Amino acid sequence: MSRPSDSTSFDPTTLAFYTKEAPDYVASGPGGVSRWLASFLDRLSAGSRILELGCGSGRDAEAMIAAGHDVDATDGTPEMAALASTRLGRTVRVMRFDELDAHEDYDAVRAHASLLHVPFPALPGILTRVFCALRPGGTHSATYKGGGTAGRDAAGRYFNYPDAGSLRAAYGAAAPWRIDAIEDYIGGGYDGRQGPWLAISARRPDQ
């Protein structure tokens, strides 16, 4: 499967935020793992090879490793990756989403609160890369802030803010994804505000 050009697939201002705020961002995050992690792990076989995109502090990667999985944790900023590396006691790779170039290397790809920063026109191209990285039958889980209109928060971070229909369309334009569920929920964020979120579970078909 060919991969579209992703020359506009990241927002420099958002990356600069995480570069500058990495220590405070990690220190202020909630102590527990994200709410969708348990259901994601329930879909995996023992010892699955997992790619985590945008691992942040490494809290979910730590839990996935403790559960016996082979986790390739990545983050787009060196500062955040260094902090996660310290937490995990292993190297966290620095990789932007548009730098993903794997072919059927993973049983699962997890992107909790990370792909929501991809400029929406470029999201299908990134999702093509995620699809290609999965082995046939592999699973993918991601969460996005909802809303329906892309924009920036008070800190200047870009969010693609999809609704369920536009998110489904982005996955459909990317690859022959099999979408198992798109669930609405209310969640918080770094700024402490509550708002709409979407959790998507999808798979690469066996054939």
Residues 93 and 61: their CA atoms lie apart, in Å, by 13
With beta carbons less than 8 A apart as the criterion, state whether 34 and 199 touch.
no
pLDDT tens for residues 7-18? 477 888 887 877
Q: How many domains does the chain have?
A: 1
Angle between helices 12-28 and 78-88 (to 10 degrees): 30
Does the pLDDT at position 33 exceed 70?
A: no
46 domain-assigned: yes
Residues 171 and 164: their CA atoms lie apart, in Å, by 11
Q: What is the DSSP string of 140-186?
A: EEEEEE--SS-EE-TT--EE----HHHHHHHHHHHS--EEEEEEEEE
195 domain-assigned: yes
pLDDT tier for residue 21 given thresholds of 50, 70 and 90: low
Tell me the mean pLDDT in the region 24-39: 64
Does the pLDDT at position 117 exceed 80?
A: yes
Does the pLDDT at position 191 exceed 90?
A: no
pLDDT tens for residues 88-107? 999 999 999 999 999 999 99
pTM given for the model: 0.88
169 domain-assigned: yes
68 domain-assigned: yes
Tell me the mean pLDDT in the region 146-159: 91
Can you give the CATH number for the domain in which 124 is found?
A: 3.40.50.150
76 domain-assigned: yes
Domain residues for the domain of 42 are 12-203
2 domain-assigned: no
7 domain-assigned: no
Reported as type and span, the H/E element at residue 75 is strand 70-75
134 domain-assigned: yes
Reported as type and span, the H/E element at residue 106 is strand 106-111
At residue 40, the pLDDT reads 95
